[in-house]
Amino acid sequence: MKQYRISTENFTPTSDSDCALAPDDPIHDMIASQYMGGLNAAQRISERKAKLAQELAEAREPMLQYARNTGIKPGTPAWYALTGTTPVNVRKKT
């Protein structure tokens, strides 16, 4: 059986996105709970989630303002095209 040794000596990331985690990745909660032996872990996790929710709201606001200005209503095909989502209860015609 062959054994392989993997090291990061010669690794050079091609961009910053090569090593990035999504902000909603659960690993961030785990890191927050391990900080200082888990002291105030619940508080740190709730602060991180509140910050993430605020950033999400700030990012969505321009899109929602555009929808208000152009008269796009939730549930219309234009709404789904704008938000990049799909309707949940769509039945395919057979």
Mean pLDDT of each 10-residue bin along the chain, 94 residues long: 77 62 75 68 80 88 90 88 75 59
Do 33 and 45 contact (CB within 8 A), yes or no?
A: yes
Q: What is the pLDDT of residue 90?
A: 57
Note down the domain range covering 37.
23-83
pTM attached to this predicted model? 0.46
DSSP character string of 28-88: HHHHHHHGGGGTTHHHHHHHHHHHHHHHHHHHHHHHHHHHHHHTPPTTSHHHHHHHT---S
Asked whether residue 9 is assigned to any structural domain, the reply reads no
Total number of domains in the chain: 1
Q: CA 70, CA 45: separation in Å to the nearest integer?
A: 38
Q: CA 80, CA 72: separation in Å to the nearest integer?
A: 10
Asked whether residue 15 is assigned to any structural domain, the reply reads no
